[in-house]
Amino acid sequence: MTFSRQTIASVAQLLGSLSRDPARILIYKHLGVYWNEFTADKDEFLRVLKTAQSDSVNSLVSEIIREKGAVRADAPTKHVFDGRWREIERWLLHDGWVIEDGQLVRLTPGAEEATGIRDKLLEELGSSDLDNDGAIRKCIEDSAKSFMKEPPDYNDSTTKVRIALETIARRAATKLAAAKSVAYPEDKWGKALECLKIAGVLEPNEEEIMARVYTFISPGAHVPAGITDEEWARLARTFGLSSSYFIFKKYQAAGTSR
């Protein structure tokens, strides 16, 4: 299993809420880092978790979940531990996992969580000319916040991902049209896809798939019977973010070949 950066950070915060020795023992037991090699503050926990093998992190998280009561007993301030625990539960849910009887249970599978598409896109947008103003990043992050808040706003979460997808396509079309002298008369979603196809960024079948994804996650789209709002939002986010990343990578490839 692969956890998002938010889940990893939440685990670091929870470890920081424990007494020093129990936290260090957990780190040594699962990650093989000796207690004297780091100071055991939250920043150090985060550093160690970020550089550890995913299987080791999975083992650590599994023990924390399985032995929650015993782990909580090592927290000097229980309400701080409880708050950190709630954050882990919320971000695990965002990653597509739920805790049942001390075990992680997979919810509806999604490429967004399984492959870390969201985090990859956010990381690569940071050095891209498509998001100099941070608008796309904000949409993606606001989508996650809407999904996680209480009560969740699944409609807004899906809408923000759709806006991110549209913004990436329109900005890519604008830049490529100028660079390759391709007609782009109207700055709209459909025209953006057409421009990307003419510029050789998207194949005709890829243009059609992107158009269908956009329609699928747009307001008023039919939600299949038996699917909850949460499951629908998770599916829509997965499709939207995966499509955003696809167009972004195709744009990058076209840009390097100009």
Last residue of a domain, one of 106, 133, 150: 106
d(Cα 71, Cα 77) in Å, to the nearest integer? 12
Residue 169 above 80 pLDDT? yes
Q: What is the mean pLDDT of residues 83-102?
A: 88
pLDDT tens-digit readout, 7-65: 999 999 999 999 988 998 999 999 998 866 666 566 789 989 988 998 899 999 999 99
Position of tokens 């050789």? 200
**Same domain for 118 and 75:** no
Same structural domain, 233 and 116: yes
Domain match, 53 and 71 both = yes
Q: Return the bridge partners of 103, or none.
A: 100
Helix (H) or strand (E) holding 133: none
Q: Classify the C-alpha dihedral 200-204-209-210 as positive or negative.
A: positive
* Average confidence (pLDDT) over 62-69: 95
Distance CA(219)–CA(124), nearest Å, equals 28
State residue 65's pLDDT score: 95
Residues 48 and 123 reside in one and the same domain: no
Alpha-carbon torsion angle 241, 245, 247, 251, nearest 10: 150
Residues 239 and 172 reside in one and the same domain: yes
- 10 Å Cβ neighbour count for 111? 15
Backbone conformation region of residue 108, classed left if phi is above 0, alpha if psi is from -120 to 50, else beta: beta
Same domain, 20 and 66: yes
Q: What is the pLDDT of residue 165?
A: 97
Span 153-175, mean pLDDT?
A: 94
DSSP string, 74-99: T-SSHHHHHHHHHHHHHHHHHTTEEE
pLDDT value at residue 1: 62
Beta bridge partners of 71: none
pLDDT for 206 equals 96
- Give residue 234's identity as a one-letter amino acid code: R
The mean of the pLDDT values for the chain is 87
43 lies in the same domain as 149: no
Q: Are residues 45 and 146 in the same domain?
A: no
Q: In whole angstroms, give the CA distance from residue 16 to residue 36.
A: 16
Among 52, 45, 56, 53, which residue's Cα sits nearest to residue 23?
A: 45
Q: What is the pLDDT of residue 111?
A: 46
Total structural domains within the chain: 2
**Domain stop point among 106, 130, 160:** 106
Can you give the pLDDT at residue 109? Answer: 45
Helix (H) or strand (E) holding 211: helix 204-216
What does the pLDDT look like over 173-229, one tens digit per residue?
999 888 888 888 889 999 999 999 998 999 999 999 999 999 988 876 566 677 788
What does the pLDDT look like over 105-137, one tens digit per residue? 766 544 455 557 888 899 899 888 899 999 999
Confidence label for 257 from pLDDT (cuts 50, 70 and 90): very low
Judged by DSSP in three states, 169 sits in helix
Tokens linked to 16: 């920081």
Contact of 74 with 20, CB cutoff 8 Å: no
Q: Do 214 and 120 sit in the same domain of this protein?
A: yes
Asked if 188 contacts 170 with a C-beta cutoff of 8 angstroms, the reply is yes
Q: Give pLDDT, residue 3.
A: 86
Query: Which residue range forms the structural domain that includes residue 165?
Result: 111-256
Report the pLDDT value the prediction gives residue 39, as an integer from 0 to 100.
62
pLDDT at 256 over 60: no
